[in-house]
Amino acid sequence: MYKGHARAYTNIALIKYWGKADQELILPMNNSLSLTLDAFYTETSVTFSSEYTEDQFYLDQQLQDQKATAKVSRFLDLIRNKAQSQLFAKVDSQNFVPTAAGLASSASGLAALAGAASAALGLSLDERELSRLARRGSGSASRSVYGGFAEWQKGNSDETSYAVPIASDDFEADLSMVFVVVNDHQKDVSSRDGMQRTVETSAFYDGWLATVPQDLEKARAAIQGKDFQALGEVTEASALKMHGTTLAAVPPFTYWSAESMRVMNLVRQFRNEGLACYFTMDAGPNVKILVERKNEAALVAKLTEHFAADQLITAHAGPGIKIQTKEVEA
């Protein structure tokens, strides 16, 4: 029998994915564009065996409950169907994050699971097929198949919705992303529920969709031209617009906390002081700051005046998914 093993790195969207056209297939309402990072990743091993009588899911060495296991089983069913297998699996997954700050990501987790499980059943998927499969687990996972910049093309079917790498002449090597981990949690709304509520009820959702194509165009042009300022400006604008939609949802919600706003204001202040840096935020209160690598130390020095060292995590561009298959004793 074969053990499939995969390591996938998380990615942060510069142009955000926010809303689904199809819940079951995870087809998004808009294209999104991301940077894969080196600082957070998931390693997952999967074996399938006729000796197993149910799927078992270990996360960070802890056997998970029925609810978490059922989610993994539903995803494994997609792969079992593809491989025409009825074997149960043992899934062993480990998240590598620098602190216990709640930064574990479904992007790296589902991409690693897609890679490891498909390899264990002998499916040798190309990157596009792997991106499509990862997408079925979590939309943002479609982008973690690739290193550097990737764009998830929304498509209009299971076959046509997948991420592709963006040629960048290594521009990503010039970039850093500093995570500011803030500790004042808002009441959680999962990204899945939050984006759905926004699509269905937010008066601002159409406004969001209307400007995504031009933001993508600006981001692609900034990457081609290695124009950090243009990339930063459109990154920040995309995040602000995405988060704006949540305020008009019914009931309204926000992922911003007082501390998030403090970080965003500091970023604006640093820019006024001549340090080019731009923020983005996802479905939680932490703020990520995009900065040129040559200015990373200056940014961290300024942030250190306001935050504890363990609240600051610096990441750089990371690689694409790595998959291995090993023969093991049954």
Query: Which residues contact ligand 2P0 (rule: CB under 6 A)?
Result: 13, 16-18, 26, 32, 106, 138-140, 191-192, 282-283
Question: Based on the number of CB atoms within 10 Å of its own CB, is 171 exposed (0-12), middle (13-18) or buried (19 or more)?
Answer: buried
Smallest gap from Cβ 96 to ligand 2P0, in A, equals 18
Q: Tell me how far CA of residue 322 lies from CA of 78, 127, 287, in angstroms.
A: 21, 11, 28
Cα–Cα distances (Å) from 172 to 16, 42, 59, 259, 291, in that order, read 18, 21, 31, 28, 11
Q: Least Å distance between CB 77 and ligand 2P0? A: 17
Report the residue number, 192 or 316, with the smaller CB distance to ligand 2P0. Answer: 192
What's the length of the chain?
330
In the complex, least distance from residue 23 CB atom to ligand 2P0, rounded to whole angstroms: 8
Nearer Cβ to ligand 2P0, position 23 or 66? 23
CB of 309 vs ligand 2P0, minimal distance in Å: 27
Q: Shortest approach of ligand 2P0 to residue 91 CB, angstroms?
A: 17
* Helix, strand or coil, per DSSP, at residue 283: coil
88 or 194: CB nearest ligand 2P0 = 194
Q: In the chain, which ranges are E strands?
A: 2-15, 20-22, 27-28, 32-49, 56-59, 62-63, 88-96, 149-153, 162-165, 175-180, 277-281, 287-292, 312-316, 322-327
Nearer to ligand 2P0 by Cβ, of 282 and 296: the residue is: 282
CB nearer ligand 2P0, residue 16 or residue 218: 16
Residue nearest ligand 2P0 by beta-carbon distance: 139
Least separation in angstroms between residue 238's CB and ligand 2P0 is 9
- Name which of 17 and 228 has its Cβ closer to ligand 2P0: 17
Task: CB nearer to ligand 2P0: give 105 or 176.
Answer: 105
Q: How far apart are the C-alpha atoms of 313 and 295, rounded to whole Å?
A: 15
Can you spell out the DSSP letters for 129-169? HHHHHHHHH-GGGGGGGSSSEEEEE--SSTTT-EEEE---T
Query: CB of residue 135 vs ligand 2P0: minimum separation in angstroms?
Result: 8
Q: Can you give the C-alpha Rg of the chain in angstroms? A: 20
- For residues 274, 280, 284, 285, the Cα torsion angle rounded to the nearest 10 degrees is 10
